[in-house]
């Protein structure tokens, strides 16, 4: 059971004595109840303690915005822009700056939409409160409260600061949002009230004991504020970018050295290398990935899932551990009556009716138990009408001494007067003095209910003689939501472990877990109070204990925070659901914080995802949608890595491997680069000695392919059946294999094109020498004849059968662009590219990209004569298409399939281990269920004892409104029944099966080729 309310948060709440250690008595001593603090005293304390408000981390909005334009990729774009500015290449400069602006704005908008958790926590503070100052009650802003103030708390008030209750009747306080308790608690003089709790019944004065960040509420805010999460996707994106950037820088530096060594001007070399570098690194990856997740977020919003941080979508796809609060998340946070235990000849409706007569009938402020019983009674029209026939003459409310409520009622029509009572079962039994058989039956039933976490409520009435008659026992429980069990089952089928993390009692948590099929291995907060050495002395680390437990009960916010952190440290991608202030730190700490419907502002602001529909059923749809989005982003990353590999290594081999071939195979007139004006003067005319593409061609490849591939955000994909991880080894293996094919494909085409050059044909066949470029050639000689052959027929012109250098550039541009976009089709599936149709948008974009690239290649010189590229003839464009499609077939049907098959074989042991863990979990849950069933079939007898602490009744013996809680002292010696013997045998058999299963898995793993 939970400790007394005054001790509920002793590990978090700063006690008044703690404050007084560092403060003079004049600034910490509680004010006299009659007069309160004076204005001067309050001002002095406010100056010392500060306002009753939460501290907030502030950042410079301008610097935060500018930060999105600084980093590895932005720096490269800035460098490329400077080079283009020096070369006075305004079109290229504008395109690069546009890319930079888009990248920065997307990141800034995403961060802006994420919200500010601390601001919402601060906004949820009570704005006004009633305080006694200078001997008068006055209403002030809650932020001006100070320790020692005298405040008034009444029905409907939200407690403005942590306080200690003064003398008077008890208060019923709902602090579910703070502690996770499913029912309001009753606080008595001397107990502590928490900031943010709501007064449900009663009125009382209190002394403020802590304010602002020193409160329970404030500690939760401090934990939220201490978390600096970097999303998994940001880390992966950074790793991929840095890897590609490193390779690109090394290779581009080599290209730069070769170009300078070949006599290419410094400015031209820099322009080519920097733009090549920018084209190679994934500058558009952030835009494409964010656009994909943004489209998914809009779809999720239509399903009732609001995404506050886009990175959470990707992390949800990989979520393999879900920690869930119980009260209000898994359960309805409403009491419900279950099958009662009837004593005598009453019906269930009659038992509930007499319990309703013993409830205080109020329009508002009714106790939770009274409300549940009255509502159940009024749900039956006959009972509701009958209830109106009775007048309440007297009502004795619950108190910790009597532990019951007693009502004196009168039948209006007959005038008959009698009393009804409901309360703790052993108290009501003692009032009635039933026979031994009845007492044993009731005690056994109550103990069974207590073991299952149900609340037991005895009901009695006076008879004709005025003697009390025991009528029966009502059982109450906060039931799971109707869809919760199905949701958890689906989550488990999808490879997600679900653990309950609640501040409620252990017995209640176990019964809820059992009813939802989550197992019953529930730990309480005591495990976290032990030292690491104490835990490890029992052969297990605390991390292992947390990982193996099915759930946790009686935990506080810092425990939830610690549980989530330990699971994350153990390698899980952890999600956390909750609705209260006590959940906010864990929601912020988890990789995926999910605030459920009806959550507090604090929980919603700390969360990454907010559900607008009740329960968790929408989480399953959100996970499936997230896995689809993950698949799309993963496919893009494979494409982007392969495209980088293609560009950077193609130009490396083109520059290094063909540096002499260009000069030999093509005349100087075709390789001429005109003089250009720059900021540092005129760049002289020169002849190309190595193969390169114009800067604008590289930019066109980047813009066309990366721009249109944004359509992948609506590609048709199939969600994975298990949590998705970033297996970078697999991603890079597939991408490099695809990129290798592209490099070989385009280098081979370059070699073919080089060999159709006029210089090459002149040396090989003695033909194709155009007098325009070879003035010494004899027109009547064979050297001017048309070159013949299969390739010459496709690529050569009609007169000489050769290709010009500028046509070769256009040819390679077309091949690079088409083959790159074909790779998108290959990267999106593990099977053949046609095994799953493309999304309509991606299919349309593919057609647009193919047509645009082809038209650009056919009319490039018509668009601009300064690009050093000539129009292709239809036969040349057709040859490129045939070449690309042949290579694409090899890439998709042979290379890609081979890589995936090899990777699956390499990871076969991991799959075996996952299957082993899954089977072990199933059998272990069955064993735990049988153990629970055995305990429930045990019969108990004898009267329960009463538990007291320090002369007063322990809060562990009863709940809010007098709800009894059975303790272990009520148990009687167990005796085995035939059914229990059968269950023991079944349990032994299950444990033997688990042992055999472990041996079988170990044996299979030792076999080669499993």
The CA dihedral of 488, 494, 499, 501, to the nearest 10 degrees, is -70
Q: Cα–Cα distance between 849 and 700 in angstroms, integer?
A: 11
DSSP secondary structure string for all residues of 455-487: EEEEEEEE-TTS-EEEEEEEEEE-PBPTTHHHH
3-state secondary structure of 452: coil
Instruction: For residue 950, give both structure tokens.
Output: 């320090």
Helix axis angle for 840-858 and 695-708, nearest 10°, is 160
The residue whose two tokens read 């004898």 is: 942
* Helical (H) or strand (E) element with 690: none
The residue whose two tokens read 């500010």 is: 116
Neighbours of 59 (CB within 10 A): 8
Residue of 325, 451, 504, 957 marked active site = 325
Instruction: For residue 600, give both structure tokens.
Output: 């507090």
Backbone angles phi and psi of 393, in degrees to 5: -90, -35
The CA dihedral of 395, 400, 402, 403, to the nearest 10 degrees, is 80
Sign of the dihedral defined by the CA atoms of residues 772, 776, 782, 783, in that order:
negative
User: 690 exposed, middle or buried (CB, 10 Å; 0-12, 13-18, 19+)?
Assistant: buried
Q: Cα–Cα distance between 125 and 121 in angstroms, integer?
A: 7
The residue whose two tokens read 């204005």 is: 39
Backbone angles phi and psi of 958, in degrees to 5: -155, 160
3-state secondary structure of 893: helix
- Give Cβ neighbours of residue 425 (< 8 Å, ≥ 6 apart): 442, 443, 446, 456, 457, 458, 473, 944, 964
Q: Cα–Cα distance between 984 and 32 in angstroms, integer?
A: 64
Q: What is the CA radius of gyration of the chain?
A: 38
Backbone angles phi and psi of 9, in degrees to 5: -120, 35
The residue whose two tokens read 């943004």 is: 294
Rounded alpha-carbon distances, angstroms, from residue 941 to 343, 438, 446, 453, 739: 16, 10, 11, 19, 77
- DSSP classification of residue 331: B
Q: Cα–Cα distance between 915 and 998 in angstroms, integer?
A: 11
- DSSP classification of residue 1007: S
Instruction: For residue 388, give both structure tokens.
Output: 């109106």
Q: Cα–Cα distance between 618 and 439 in angstroms, integer?
A: 47
Is 325 labeled as catalytic in the residue annotation? Answer: yes
User: 905 exposed, middle or buried (CB, 10 Å; 0-12, 13-18, 19+)?
Assistant: exposed
Q: Cα–Cα distance between 820 and 884 in angstroms, integer?
A: 10
Active site residues: 325
């Amino acid at each position: 059971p939970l400790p007394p309310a005054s001790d509920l948060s002793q590990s978090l709440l700063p006690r008044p004595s703690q404050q007084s250690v560092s403060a003079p008595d004049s600034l910490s001593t509680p004010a006299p109840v009659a007069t309160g603090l004076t204005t001067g005293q309050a001002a002095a304390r406010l100056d010392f303690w500060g306002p009753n408000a939460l501290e907030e981390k502030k950042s410079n909005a301008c610097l935060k915005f500018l930060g999105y334009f600084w980093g590895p990729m932005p720096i490269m774009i800035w460098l490329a822009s400077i080079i283009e500015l020096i070369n006075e290449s305004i079109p290229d400069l504008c395109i690069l700056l546009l890319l930079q602006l888009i990248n920065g704005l997307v990141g800034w908008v995403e961060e802006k939409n994420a919200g500010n958790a601390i601001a919402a926590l601060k906004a949820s503070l009570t704005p006004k409160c009633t305080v006694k100052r200078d001997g008068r009650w006055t209403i002030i802003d809650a932020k001006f409260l100070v320790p020692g103030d005298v405040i008034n708390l009444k029905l409907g008030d939200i407690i403005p600061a942590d306080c200690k209750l003064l003398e008077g009747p008890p208060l019923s306080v709902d602090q579910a949002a703070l502690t996770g308790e499913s029912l309001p608690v009753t606080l008595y003089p001397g107990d502590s009230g928490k900031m943010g709790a709501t007064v449900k019944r009663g009125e009382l004065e209190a002394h403020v004991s802590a304010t602002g960040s020193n409160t329970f509420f404030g500690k939760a805010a401090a934990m939220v504020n201490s978390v600096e999460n970097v999303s998994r996707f940001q880390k992966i994106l950074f790793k991929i970018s840095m890897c590609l950037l490193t390779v690109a820088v090394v290779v581009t530096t080599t290209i730069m050295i070769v170009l300078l060594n070949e006599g290419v001007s410094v400015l031209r070399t820099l322009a080519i290398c920097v733009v090549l570098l920018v084209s190679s690194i994934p500058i558009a990856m952030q835009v494409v990935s964010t656009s994909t997740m943004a489209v998914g977020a809009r779809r999720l919003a239509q399903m009732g899932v609001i995404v506050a941080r886009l990175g959470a979508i990707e992390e949800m796809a990989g979520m393999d551990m879900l920690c869930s609060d119980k009260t209000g998340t898994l359960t309805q946070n409403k009491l419900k009556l279950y099958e009662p235990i009837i004593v005598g000849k009453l019906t269930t409706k009659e038992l509930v009716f007499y319990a309703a007569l013993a409830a205080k009938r109020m329009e508002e402020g009714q106790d939770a138990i009274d409300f549940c019983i009255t509502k159940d009674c009024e749900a039956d029209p006959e009972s509701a009408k009958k209830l109106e026939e009775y007048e309440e003459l007297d009502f004795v409310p619950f108190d910790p001494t009597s532990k019951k409520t007693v009502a004196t009622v009168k039948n209006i029509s007959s005038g008959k007067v009698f009393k009804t009572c409901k309360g703790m079962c052993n108290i009501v039994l003692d009032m009635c003095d039933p026979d031994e058989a009845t007492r044993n039956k009731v005690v056994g039933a109550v103990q069974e209910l207590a073991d299952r976490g149900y609340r037991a409520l005895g009901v009695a009435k006076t008879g004709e003689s005025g003697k009390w008659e025991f009528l029966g026992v009502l059982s109450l429980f906060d039931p799971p939501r109707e869809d919760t069990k199905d949701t958890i089952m689906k989550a488990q089928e999808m490879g997600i472990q679900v653990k309950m993390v609640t501040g409620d009692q252990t017995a209640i948590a176990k019964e809820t877990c059992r009813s939802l099929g989550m197992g019953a291995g529930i730990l309480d907060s005591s495990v976290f109070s032990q030292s690491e050495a104490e835990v490890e002395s029992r052969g297990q680390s605390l991390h292992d204990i947390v990982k193996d437990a099915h759930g946790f009960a009686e935990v506080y916010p810092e425990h939830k925070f610690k549980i989530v952190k330990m699971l994350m440290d153990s390698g899980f991608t952890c999600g956390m659901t909750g609705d209260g202030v006590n959940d906010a730190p864990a929601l912020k700490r988890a990789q995926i914080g999910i605030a459920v419907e009806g959550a507090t502002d604090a929980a919603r602001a700390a969360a990454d995802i907010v559900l607008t529909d009740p329960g968790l059923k929408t989480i399953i749809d959100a996970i499936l949608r997230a896995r689809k989005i993950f698949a799309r982003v993963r496919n893009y990353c494979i494409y982007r890595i392969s495209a980088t590999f293609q560009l950077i290594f193609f130009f490396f081999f083109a520059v290094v491997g063909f540096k002499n071939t260009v000069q030999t195979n093509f005349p100087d007139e075709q390789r001429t680069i005109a003089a250009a004006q720059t900021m540092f003067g005129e760049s002289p005319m020169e002849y190309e000695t190595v193969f390169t593409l114009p800067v604008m061609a590289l930019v066109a490849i980047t813009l066309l392919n990366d721009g249109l591939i944004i359509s992948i955000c609506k590609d048709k994909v199939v969600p994975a059946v298990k949590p998705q991880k970033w297996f970078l080894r697999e991603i890079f293996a597939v991408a490099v294999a695809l990129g290798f094919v592209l490099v070989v494909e385009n280098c081979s085409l370059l070699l073919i094109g080089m060999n159709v050059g006029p210089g090459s044909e002149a040396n090989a066949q003695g033909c194709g020498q155009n007098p325009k470029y070879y003035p010494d050639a004899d027109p009547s000689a064979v050297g001017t004849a048309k070159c013949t052959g299969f390739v010459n027929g496709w690529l050569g012109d009609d007169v000489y059968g050769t290709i010009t250098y500028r046509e070769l550039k256009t040819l390679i541009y077309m091949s690079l662009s088409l083959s790159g976009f074909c790779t998108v089709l290959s990267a999106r599936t593990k099977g053949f590219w046609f095994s799953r149709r493309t999304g309509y948008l991606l299919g349309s974009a593919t057609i647009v990209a193919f047509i645009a690239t082809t038209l650009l290649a056919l009319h490039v010189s018509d668009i601009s004569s300064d690009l050093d590229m000539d129009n292709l003839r239809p036969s040349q464009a057709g040859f490129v298409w045939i070449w690309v499609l042949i290579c694409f077939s090899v890439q998709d049907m042979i290379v890609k399939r081979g890589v995936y098959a090899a990777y699956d074989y390499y990871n076969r042991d991991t799959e075996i281990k996952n299957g082993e863990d899954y089977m072990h979990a199933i059998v272990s849950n069955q064993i735990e269920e049988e153990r629970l069933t055995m305990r429930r079939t045990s019969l108990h007898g004898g009267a329960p004892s009463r538990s007291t602490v320090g002369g007063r009744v322990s809060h562990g013996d009863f709940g809010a409104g007098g709800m009894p809680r059975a303790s272990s002292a009520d148990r009687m010696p167990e005796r085995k029944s035939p059914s229990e013997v059968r269950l023991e045998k079944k349990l032994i058999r299950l444990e033997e099966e688990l042992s055999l299963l472990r041996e079988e898995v170990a044996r299979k793993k030792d076999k080669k080729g499993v």
